[in-house]
Amino acid sequence: MDNTEFSFLPFALPEIGEEEIAEVVSSLRSGWVTSGPKAKQFEADFSFWLGGGVESISVNSATAGLHLALEALGIGPGDEVITTTHTFTATAEVIRYLGADPVFVDVDSTTLCIDTTKIQNAITPRTKAIIPVHFAGRSADMIGIMDIAKRYGLKVVEDAAHALPTTCNGKLIGTLDSDATVFSFYANKTITTGEGGMLVTRNSEIAKRARIMRLHGINRDAFDRFTANVPSWYYEIVAPGFKYNLTDIAASIGLHQLKKAHLFQKKRQAIAERYNAELSGLPLMLPPNSESGDTHSWHLYVTQLSEDAGISRDRFIEKMYELGIGMSVHYVPLHQHPYWRETYNLTPEMFPVSQRIYEHTATLPLYTRMTEADTDRVISAVKKVLGRQKTI
**Contact residues for ligand PLP, defined by CB under 6 A:** 61-63, 87-88, 90-91, 133, 159, 161-162, 184, 186, 197
Cα separation, 134 vs 113, in Å, equals 6
Q: Describe the crossing of helices 18-30 and 248-259 by its angle, rounded to 10 degrees.
A: 150
Distance between CA 31 and CA 11 in Å, rounded?
36
The CB-of-368 to ligand PLP minimum distance in angstroms stands at: 18
- Residue nearer to ligand PLP on the CB measure, 164 or 311: 164
Q: Work out the end-to-end distance of the chain between its first and last CA atoms, rounded to an integer number of angstroms.
A: 26
Sequence-distant (6+) residues with CB within 8 A of 185 are: 62, 191, 192, 193, 194, 195, 196, 197, 198, 250, 254, 257
CB of 188 to ligand PLP, least distance (A): 7
Q: What is the DSSP secondary-structure string of 138-160? A: PPP-HHHHHHHHHHHT-EEEEE-
SS3 content of the chain, % helix, strand, coil (to 5): 45, 15, 40
100-126: buried (b, 16+ CB within 10 Å) or exposed (e) per residue?
A: bbbbbbbbbeebbbbbbebbeebbeee
The minimum distance between CB 107 and ligand PLP, in angstroms, equals 12
DSSP 9: B
Shortest Å, Cβ 60 to ligand PLP: 8
Distance in Å, CB of 56 to ligand PLP, minimum: 15
Q: Which of 38, 128, 155, 189 is catalytic?
A: 189
Closest CA to 16 of 196, 267, 194, 183: 194
Question: 260 φ, ψ to 5°?
Answer: -100, 5
Our CB check for ligand PLP shows the closer of 361 and 375 to be 361
Taking alpha carbons only, the member of 196, 160, 175, 211 closest to residue 48 is 175
Query: What is the nearest approach in angstroms of ligand PLP to the Cβ of residue 123?
Result: 22
- Shortest Cβ distance from residue 330 to ligand PLP (Å)? 8
CA–centroid distance for 102 within its chain: 18
Instruction: Between 63 and 111, name the residue whose CB sits nearer to ligand PLP.
Output: 63
Of residues 73 and 163, the one with the C-beta less far from ligand PLP = 163
- Is 40 one of the annotated active-site residues of the chain? no
Q: Are 136 and 304 in contact (CB under 8 A)?
A: no
Give the integer Cα–Cα distance in Å for 157 and 233. Answer: 36
Q: Which is nearer to ligand PLP, 87 or 178 (CB)?
A: 87
Active site members: 189
